[in-house]
Chain A
Amino acid sequence: MIRKTDACAAMREEIHALFDEDGPISLPGPLREHLDACSACREFAGELGTLRSAFRELPSYPLPQEVLDEVRRRTIHAPTLSVVRSAPAWTRAAAAAVFATALIATTWIVTRPVPIDGGPTDAELRHAEAQAELVFGYAARALDATRSAAAERVVASKVSPAVRGSNATAPPARRDGQ
């Protein structure tokens, strides 16, 4: 009797191992012989088969639609983090001006003519300054002469010769007779 129980325990472990396999179960010869002879182990194997079927029929809990919607909202439909904010027009204009100034300055620095021998001497600068003052002086006198001539022409065209003559000989009469 004890030997039979030991045999049953070993066979039941074998049955468990068979149920561990995926797919259809095929009984090895010794196990089949034991099951033919042992109704208790046959019943055991049948009940494990029922249990296996019950696992396949275990109720499933579908994910509710509102949870799925929330998942999609937080994943594939989530807003991206790189939100582009439109800057005011004056900011863009200022940025463009700064960029243009920097570009011009850089261009000038790169392309300016480099003095070969250190530039003009002090004497040359003084001579150039004197020439410039001379030119400015001539220009100023020419401008002054032009302005005077223009004023005389205006007076000649707007004021009658009689008035110009009386003005030249006597001062205007005073109303109080003094």
Chain B
Amino acid sequence: MTTADFEGAVSQFKDRVHSYARYMLRDAEEAKDVAQECLVKLWQNRDRIEPGPACRSWLLRSAHNLCIDRMRRRSIRGEVSHGDDAFEPVDPAPGPERRASSSQAGRLLEQALAGLSDRDRAIVLLREVERLPYEEIATLLDLNMGTLKATLHRTRDKLRRELVRAEAAP
């Protein structure tokens, strides 16, 4: 990967990596740190990474692993983790950095995602948002294909019900 390739990859994937870290960690500062670390690591490993889809996969894998590390450190420090049934809104008031065009459904979904377990949230984000192939997600999360698909379908159902419930609420 040349310097120009690196700059292109940064330009193309920086927001996706940052968004993924933000949704996984639900912490603005930590998400920035993870995104920055990912991009610096990409530069350090540029000789081994091809530009294009392989680069995107590498970045997401790197971001996911860094997020997992941070979540483990949080649990060791005894910080509060969000359980499956805790639907806490994330940044209820849209900040300036958020996309202005995000719809009401998008914001409701964001809140519903916050209530998922870390693993389920990772699965649904990698598949539904990043559109990674099943095989790649299974490898990344160390899951067999059956478990992955069953978990994805169950999580979709859960999110579907939450959206219906939230839209029906006054």
Residues of A within 8 A of B (CB): 13, 16, 19-20, 22, 44, 47-48, 50-55, 57-64, 67-68, 70-71, 74-76
Give every chain A residue within 8 A of B156 (Cβ-Cβ): 16, 19, 48, 51
Stretch at the interface among B49-57, B72-80, B95-103: B95-103
Contact A63 B18 (CB under 8 A): yes
Give every chain B residue within 8 A of A61 (Cβ-Cβ): 15, 18-19, 22, 31, 97-98
Residue in contact with B105 in the complex, picked from A53, A67, A68, CB distance below 8 Å: A53
Residues of B within 8 A of A (CB): 3, 6-7, 10, 14-15, 17-19, 22, 31-32, 35-36, 39-40, 43, 94, 97-99, 101-103, 105-110, 113, 127-129, 131, 134, 149, 152-153, 156, 159-160, 163-164
Alpha-carbon distance between A48 and B31 when the two chains are bound, in angstroms: 29
Alpha-carbon distance between A67 and B33 when the two chains are bound, in angstroms: 8
- CB-CB under 8 A for A75 and B36, given A50-B163, A52-B128, A60-B15: no
Contact A76 B109 (CB under 8 A): no
Contact A54 B108 (CB under 8 A): yes
Residue in contact with B110 in the complex, picked from A20, A47, A59, CB distance below 8 Å: A59
Contact A57 B102 (CB under 8 A): yes
Give every chain B residue within 8 A of A22 (Cβ-Cβ): 131
Contact B159 A51 (CB under 8 A): yes
Can you name 23 A-B residue pairings with CB atoms under 8 Å? A13-B153, A16-B156, A19-B156, A20-B127, A47-B164, A50-B160, A51-B109, A51-B156, A52-B128, A54-B105, A55-B109, A55-B128, A57-B105, A58-B129, A60-B19, A60-B98, A61-B15, A63-B15, A63-B17, A63-B35, A71-B36, A75-B39, A76-B7
- In this complex, which of A51, A53, A76 has the most chain B Cβ atoms within 10 angstroms of its Cβ? A51
